[in-house]
Amino acid sequence: MNDIGVRDAVAGAVAQDVDVVVVGAGQAGLSGAYHLRRVGFEPGRDFVVLDHAPRPGGAWQFRWPSLTYGKVHGMHALPGMELTGADPERPSSEVVGAYFAAYENRFDLRVRRPVDVRRVREGENGRLLVETSAGAWSARALINATGTWDRPFWPRYPGQDTFLGRQLHTALYPGPEAFAGQRVVVVGGGASGTQHLMEIAPYAAGTTWVTRRPPVFREGPFDADRGRSAVAMVEERVRRGLAPRSVVSVTGLPVNDAIRQARAEGVLDRLPMFDRITPTGVAWDDGRHVEADVILWATGFRAAIDHLAPLRLREAGGGIRMEGTRAAADPRVHLVGYGPSASTIGANRAGRAAVRDIQRLLAGAPAAV
């Protein structure tokens, strides 16, 4: 391996040579780094992990304080180190942040932060040039594990700019106490929307739930067959180059005692999506109008992959066509935590699969089918 580096002809900067750059140190990025380490890649010499967050914890560190660890659905342990003894009443941001920090230390992953990856483009001699706020790296392969937290999705509706109240997204949700005595419209039929509603209802003057599609509540255990079916639906989209849907969006909302109580109390009585926003609330074309002080958009996130734009990986359908974890248009680029691997257990498996594929790529062997 050449540690002298190559010169970026455009910026004139010297880029450090590594075999693999891992972008992101959430569940997916740490999984990829672990498996690189496990098969013999040395952190700092053979690969580098770049993370733009201020501290360990991935997107978990930004979760609202009222999302305690006991409320988290399906947090799967990172490979090689279990998360044990966590206090279910402690905020998940603290629990997972401490766990990720301990994990980075235990496996000596040497995550560099805060580092903003600005763009990834074609470099010299068939390598990728990763340009960042902390310099440039020249890599033979890339594991992109940037998740979605940095790209909250805000739908646009007529009259949205006229609303006199407050609008905020799940990404900036402060906890239920901030809505005391207010009339709140929650938009979105996912897990975050239902959690927000159930938390806010005891504090607010009133809540209204609106979703584009009727919510699907799932009774009974989520067994392996149902899990594989859900993942297969998401895989089919990315295989066709369409923008991925989250795995959660095709599994439905798991019913527990809190959900049952909220449904019985009318907190989870859903209305169809409104047609426009007024200065004082939301309105439907049939004449209905709901007064509101706050509109909370629990409308999800999109993949944070704009830094990959110079590689022209996107298909006409808006997504990146995938073959396993690698981008079909560029076998040097692997996306973990994207599409079917956008879950904690999926990210672990994707990290392992990406590293296997990268080993073959660097050895000059054909990619696995």
SS (H, E, C) 207-254: EEEEECCCCCEECCCCCHHHHHHHHHHHHHHHHCCECCCCCHHHCCEE
Check if the beta carbon of residue 134 is closer than 8 Å to that of residue 16. no
Residue 4 is predicted with a pLDDT of 40
Q: Which two tokens stand for residue 295?
A: 């509109």
Cross-strand pairs, 47: 20, 43
3-state secondary structure of 70: helix
Predicted confidence (pLDDT) per residue in 126-175, tens digit: 999 999 999 999 999 999 999 999 999 999 999 999 999 999 999 999 99
Predicted confidence (pLDDT) per residue in 204-256, tens digit: 999 999 999 888 887 765 555 555 565 666 666 666 776 766 655 666 777 88
Residue 7 is predicted with a pLDDT of 45
d(CA 297, CA 278): 16
Residue 354 CA from chain centroid, whole number: 18
The percent of residues in the chain predicted with pLDDT above 70, rounded, is 85
Residue 250 is predicted with a pLDDT of 65
Residue 368 is predicted with a pLDDT of 57
Bridge-based pairing state of the strands 183-187 and 206-211: parallel
**pTM for the whole structure:** 0.85
pLDDT exceeds 50 at position 100: yes
Other beta carbons less than 10 A from residue 116's beta carbon: 13
Give the Cα-Cα-Cα angle 117, 123, 126 (nearest 5 degrees).
Answer: 125
pLDDT exceeds 50 at position 260: yes
Of 193-207, 247-261, 269-283, 304-318, the poorest mean pLDDT is in 247-261
pLDDT, average across residues 263-280: 96
The percent of residues in the chain predicted with pLDDT above 90, rounded, is 67
Check if the beta carbon of residue 355 is closer than 8 Å to that of residue 36. yes
Q: Which residue has the higher pLDDT, 355 or 68?
A: 355
pLDDT, average across residues 291-299: 97
pLDDT exceeds 70 at position 354: yes
- Residue-wise over 202-230: b if at least 16 C-beta within 10 A, else e? ebbeebbbbbeeeeeeeeeeeeeeebeeb
